[in-house]
Amino acid sequence: MQNVLVAGGAGYVGSHCCLALAAAGFRPVVFDDLSNGHREHVQWGPLEVGDIRDAARLDTVFAQHKPVAVLHFAARIEVGESVKNPGAFFDNNVGGTITLVEAARRAGVNALVFSSTCATFGDPVTLPMPENHPQAPLNPYGRSKLMVEQALADYDRYVGFKSAVMRYFNAAGADPEGRIGEWHEPETHAIPLAIDVALGKRSHFTIFGDDYDTRDGTAVRDYVHVLDLADAHVSALKRLLAGGSSEAYNLGTGTGTTVRELVDGVGRAVGKPLAVQMAPRRPGDAPILVGDNAKARAQLGWNPSRDLDAILSSAWRWHRARAKA
């Protein structure tokens, strides 16, 4: 069984990727400082507590576990916070990634799968958005991820370090068996916020803007089940280990869901309509963000198979069970 170092593997997407790695015959070794991740979500391999900016700690972990590759999810992700404190995002997301890559290279590891984002694109110019869409991020979070993408391209170009860049659209859903799910503190993501309304933790769900040029006036986003994302990461890992080239992939379904449709879908999953309040648009919110996944389909054989109802029902089951625990 080959070890894979999963930086940020106690977090939302990282933990679901650990589940998928284990199912594919790998042993995920989680490296996480637990600032955003959860010890309870490390279930498929050992946990090594540490910060990706700590080169000495990384060297120790690489030497002990001898991973064949790295999956990298360890990042600060709150867009609003990145505007208030950009330095922290560049320090962790950019500086930490460089420290991690250099540690991997010292250990003789030459393959990294990187958790990136559609936020590197900024406002859409064409829809659905392909991998070669112009990249003009609107905030320091997106810019930090783009800077890493550019650094990884140079690592490939000049020293042959291989990577797969995975640009998510909206990761959503949970493990259908209820072992892990989406858990942020504080919560900022739409589906958990809507479920909080159903659980009585919030009085209403706020829709920001109903005057967009979309089918019902609310913004459109591309929701992808987190286990579909995990499948793409495992496929990208296998491709790199087989000698594949460095590539970037858009991980979206190619289908958009409006905010109203999302709220209605949560209502179906929980069995009752949600209380909703309208608010003005938020600055920087694009009307439509939908990804073209043709490259991932062609090169990775990726087929995002779980639809919106599967996403919402799995999320509801996990959040409901956690609320009762």
Do residues 67 and 142 share a domain? yes
How far apart CA 270 and CA 186 sit, in angstroms, is 22
Do residues 151 and 213 share a domain? no
Residue 318, in any domain of the structure: yes
* pLDDT tens profile 79-113: 889 999 999 999 999 999 999 999 999 999 999 99
31 contacts 11 by C-beta, under 8 angstroms = no
Burial of 283 (0-12, 13-18, 19+ CB in 10 A): exposed
Is it the case that residue 325 has pLDDT exceeding 80?
Answer: no
Residue 294, in any domain of the structure: no
Do residues 122 and 208 share a domain? no
How many domains is the chain partitioned into structurally? 2
Residue 295, in any domain of the structure: no
Residue 117 pLDDT level (bands cut at 50, 70, 90): very high
Mean pLDDT of 22-45: 97
Do residues 205 and 230 share a domain? no
Do residues 102 and 244 share a domain? yes
Do residues 216 and 230 share a domain? no
Q: How many CB atoms lie within 10 A of CB 35?
A: 12
Q: What is the pTM of this model?
A: 0.95
Mean pLDDT of 171-190: 92
Do residues 166 and 280 share a domain? no
Residue 182, in any domain of the structure: no
| Longest Cα separation, the chain | 56
Cis before 128 (ω within 30): yes
Q: What is the CATH number of the domain that holds 114?
A: 3.40.50.720
Do residues 320 and 195 share a domain? yes
Mean pLDDT of 124-146: 95
* pLDDT tens profile 49-83: 999 999 999 999 999 999 999 999 999 988 889 99
What is the residue range of 139's domain? 3-172+224-251
Do residues 104 and 198 share a domain? no
Pick from 222, 264, 242: nearest CA to 129: 222
Which pLDDT belongs to residue 172? 97
Of 205, 235, 251, which marks where a domain is finished? 251
Residue 185 pLDDT level (bands cut at 50, 70, 90): confident
Mean pLDDT of 145-166: 98
How far apart CA 81 and CA 76 sit, in angstroms, is 9
Do residues 216 and 236 share a domain? no
Residue 179, in any domain of the structure: no
Catalytically annotated residues: 141
Which pLDDT belongs to residue 76? 93
Do residues 13 and 111 share a domain? yes
How far apart CA 320 and CA 6 sit, in angstroms, is 28
C-alpha atoms less than 13 angstroms from C-alpha of 84 in its C-beta half-sphere? 6
Q: What is the CATH number of the domain that holds 283?
A: 3.90.25.10
Do residues 168 and 215 share a domain? no
Which pLDDT belongs to residue 187? 84
